[in-house]
Structure 1
């Protein structure tokens, strides 16, 4: 989860990243850091992927340690994993995404309204990051192109 200010106040964004393709598969934005924020991001990811016996890794934030979140993980057939306290390396992939988003969009201007910033985050994730931003770790494909190439090369069966 990350936060960013606007002249109206802060907004919070929670994302679920697929470790294999680096695609943001679930995300949510709210004015408060609540359990519902992380549940909305998780629900989007589960809807997009229909995972089974997949590990969902998080930090020890109260939203991720909540009864509602752990129950939702279990109900979705996911396996919960939490990093060690104070160890940024446990969440290195999502932390790298947050750093990239800070540099490429959030810190480029002062945001007037929460809606303006929320729209910019939507465009960044759905239009640019997932579909256009190429990554060296994905043979210089975007996350969507990487997944498409993998599907095209897979053997049906």
Structure 2
């Protein structure tokens, strides 16, 4: 990671995405200057090492990955209290936001059973102002173009 303060912000989902994009640019500039090659294409920095790139991860992608990771750590926690609290929070959030569940519109791509269209959660009521870990994870999964369902590998909930 880059800086301890930024690491903390990334892990806890309190980053400004514009600032992360600007920091990515500064990192690329620093590397280009260090190797005395100012015309390196942007793709070189993010192309996997096995394909001849540096294999860096965009900081904005790190932000989204950490959102999903935080969600999954709570969801899959071995601690019964955390898991129970998570499930209650999830149900209350779906109820509060009146989120369209997966059975109501099965053709839409969804993450955790939450439907997203035009980068917004599909809700039966006006959008609410804040986002919980589940909503942040769903939006992050959508941004990274990954689909994560609620089943464990063994098929249980």
TM-score of the aligned structures, taking structure 1 as reference length:
0.24
TM-score (norm 2): 0.24
Q: Identify the structure with bigger relative contact order (alpha carbons < 8 Å, sequence gap 6+).
A: 1
**Larger strand proportion, structure 1 or 2?**
1
Give the number of the structure whose alpha-carbon radius of gyration is greater: 2
